[in-house]
Amino acid sequence: MELSFVEENYLKAIYQLELENPSGVSTTALAEKTKTKPASVSDMLKKLAQKELIFYKKYQGAKLSKSGLQAALLVIRKHRLWEVFLVKHLSFAWDEVHEVAEQLEHIKSNLLIKRLDQFLGYPKEDPHGDPIPNENGEIIEIPKILLSDFTTGKKAQISAVKESSPLFLQYLDKIKAGIGSNIIIQERIAFDNSLEILLDDRTLYISEEVAKNIYVTED
């Protein structure tokens, strides 16, 4: 089935919200993510359910069906492959890629994506540390721990970022934090939940908000 640009965006949004809330995605959350109003979302959920891309009962939120998940992961695959291309070959900074990849992800051509994957050397992760689904829509979601939830004193590495807005990524560049950087929480400041961290042997302080948008894996 041929999906529209808009339908693809909804499926992708549902996928992302479902990761954080596996019990079902609310209309409001979806409206926020897709930058529309709840009423518009209601309409669209009805249509997606009609096409059997999601499970949806009125007032009960939405969940992706098998085919909906497949479609969502294919869009995400394309998005992330394009991000790799932009960063590795067109020297985009990691904070510049998102907007363009949002457009490129909707290009319809199996051959294109196959050849792009080959050209890039079958990358496993995008520039933000997120895994790239394979051509069958299989993805290995690496268990991600938010830095804000991580144990004080343990060695870890930055494995991905949650936010990918330019402002946040530029801040990370500024403090020289990137995918793979070594990190240890040295102390939690009870007052505002900010953290004193050791980042590649430099001591610095980051806010709770920042810590909530960095994923780490234990060393």
Partner DNA sequence: ATATTTTTTTAGACAAGCCTAAAACTTAAA
Partner DNA sequence: TTTAAGTTTTAGGCTTGTCTAAAAAAATAT
28 binds, among DNA, a second copy, none (CB under 5 to 8 A by kind): DNA
Nearer to DNA, 60 or 151 (CB): 60
Q: Which residue, 43 or 173, is less far from DNA as judged by CB?
A: 43
Contact 193, 160 (CB under 8 A): no
Select from 52-60, 98-106, 131-139, 209-217 the region that touches DNA (CB under 7 A): 52-60
Query: Hey, what amino acid is at 68?
Result: G
Site for DNA in 14-33 (CB under 7 A): 26-29
Judged by CB under 7 A, how many residues of this single chain contact DNA?
Answer: 27
> Do residues 52 and 75 make contact, with C-beta atoms less than 8 angstroms apart?
no
Identify whether the C-beta of residue 61 lies closer than 8 Å to the C-beta of residue 24: yes
Pick what 99 binds: DNA, a second copy, none; C-beta below 5 to 8 Å, kind-dependent.
Answer: a second copy
User: Which C-beta is closer to a second copy: that of 19 or that of 112?
Assistant: 112
Could you write out the DSSP letters of every residue in 137-172?
A: S-------EEGGGSPTT-EEEEEEES---HHHHHHH
Compare residues 42 and 134 and give the one whose CB is closer to DNA: 42
Looking at the DSSP assignment, which residues form a beta bridge with residue 204? Answer: 197
Spatial strand order in the sheet of 194-199: 145-146, 214-218, 155-161, 182-189, 194-199, 202-206
Give the angle subtended at the CA of 158 by the CAs of 150 and 197, to the nearest 5°.
60
Residue 137: CB minimum distance to DNA, A: 21
Residue 117 interacts with DNA (CB under 7 A): yes or no: no
Interface with a second copy, residue 91, by CB under 8 A: yes
With 0-12 / 13-18 / 19 or more C-beta atoms within 10 angstroms meaning exposed / middle / buried, residue 92 is middle
State both tokens at 102: 């949002």
* 47-75 burial code (b ≥16 CB/10 A, e <16): ebbeeebbebeeeebbbbbeebbbbbbbb
CB of 149 to DNA, least distance (A): 23
Residue 124 binding result from a second copy, DNA, none, given CB thresholds of 5 to 8 Å by partner type: none
The residue within the footprint of a second copy, chosen from 107, 140, 146, 189 (CB under 8 A), is: 107
Instruction: Among 18, 61, 164, 169, indicate the residue that binds DNA (CB under 7 A).
Output: 61
Kindly state the smallest distance separating residue 81's Cβ from DNA, in Å: 24
Which residues are at the interface with a second copy (CB under 8 A)? 86, 89-92, 96, 99-100, 103-104, 107-109, 111-112, 115-116, 118-119
